[in-house]
Structure 1
Amino acid sequence: MSRLPPPERAATGLRALPPSCGPVRLVAVDGHAGSGKSTFAGLLAGAAGGAPVLRLDDLATHDELFSWTGRLLQQVIGPWSRGDSAVYRPYDWELGRLGPPLSLPPAPLVLLEGVGAGRRALRPHLAGLLWMERDPQGSWSRGRRRDGPELAGFWDAWTAAETRHFAGDPSRPFADTLIRESPEGYEWLPGPGATAGASPFLTQRDQV
Structure 2
Amino acid sequence: MTTISTLAAAADARSRDGFALVAVDGMGGAGKSTLAAALAEAHGAAVVHGDDFYRPMDAQERAGLDPAQGYQRYFDWQRLRDEVLAPLAAGRGAAYRRYDWSTGELAPDEIHTVSRSGLVVVEGVYTARPELADHYDLLVYVDTPHAESMRRLRERGHDHGPIDWESRWRLAEEHYVATTRPRERAHLVVPGH
Specify if TM > 0.5.
yes
Shift of 1:13: 4.1
Could you list the structure 1 runs, at least 4 aligned residues long, displaced by more than 3 angstroms after superposition.
Answer: 6-10, 61-64, 148-152
Q: Which amino acid aligns with 2:168?
A: A
Kindly indicate whether the alpha-carbon contact (under 8 Å) linking 1:51 and 1:107 is maintained by their aligned counterparts in 2.
Answer: no
Answering whether residue 25 of structure 2 is matched by residue 14 of structure 1, we say: no
Distance in 1 (alpha carbons) for counterparts of 2:3 and 2:123: 20
Structure having the larger proportion of residues in helix: 2
Answering whether residue 153 of structure 2 is matched by residue 143 of structure 1, we say: yes
Shift of 1:98: 0.4
Task: Report the TM-score when normalising by structure 2.
Answer: 0.78
Report the CA distance shift for 1:8/1:165 in structure 2 as closer, same or farther (over 3 A).
closer
Q: Which amino acid aligns with 2:38?
A: L
Answering whether residue 98 of structure 2 is matched by residue 90 of structure 1, we say: yes
Kindly indicate whether the alpha-carbon contact (under 8 Å) linking 2:10 and 2:138 is maintained by their aligned counterparts in 1.
Answer: no
- Pick from 150, 169, 174 the counterpart of residue 180 of structure 2: 169
Shift of 1:175: 1.5
- Identity, % of aligned positions: 31
Kindly indicate whether the alpha-carbon contact (under 8 Å) linking 2:159 and 2:165 is maintained by their aligned counterparts in 1.
Answer: no
Which position in structure 1 is the counterpart of 2:62?
none
Which position in structure 1 is the counterpart of 2:123?
113
- Pick from 90, 104, 112 the counterpart of residue 102 of structure 1: 112
Q: CA RMSD in A?
A: 2.5
Q: Which amino acid aligns with 1:36?
A: G
Distance in 2 (alpha carbons) for counterparts of 1:165 and 1:8: 28
Shift of 1:150: 9.0
Which position in structure 2 is the counterpart of 1:70?
78
What are the ranges of 5 or more consecutive residues in structure 1 without an aligned counterpart? 183-208
Report the CA distance shift for 1:34/1:181 in structure 2 as closer, same or farther (over 3 A).
closer
Q: Which amino acid aligns with 1:161?
A: A
Q: Which amino acid aligns with 2:175?
A: R
Q: Which amino acid aligns with 1:47?
A: A
Distance in 2 (alpha carbons) for counterparts of 1:39 and 1:77: 21
Q: Which amino acid aligns with 1:34?
A: G
Report the CA distance shift for 1:45/1:31 in structure 2 as closer, same or farther (over 3 A).
same
- Pick from 131, 138, 143 the counterpart of residue 141 of structure 2: 131
- Pick from 28, 52, 61 the counterpart of residue 58 of structure 1: 52
Kindly indicate whether the alpha-carbon contact (under 8 Å) linking 1:23 and 1:80 is maintained by their aligned counterparts in 2.
Answer: no
Answering whether residue 151 of structure 2 is matched by residue 157 of structure 1, we say: no
Report the CA distance shift for 1:23/1:69 in structure 2 as closer, same or farther (over 3 A).
farther
SS of equivalent residue, structure 2 residue 36: helix
Q: Which amino acid aligns with 1:37?
A: K
Report the CA distance shift for 1:103/1:150 in structure 2 as closer, same or farther (over 3 A).
closer
What are the ranges of 5 or more consecutive residues in structure 2 without an aligned counterpart? 58-72
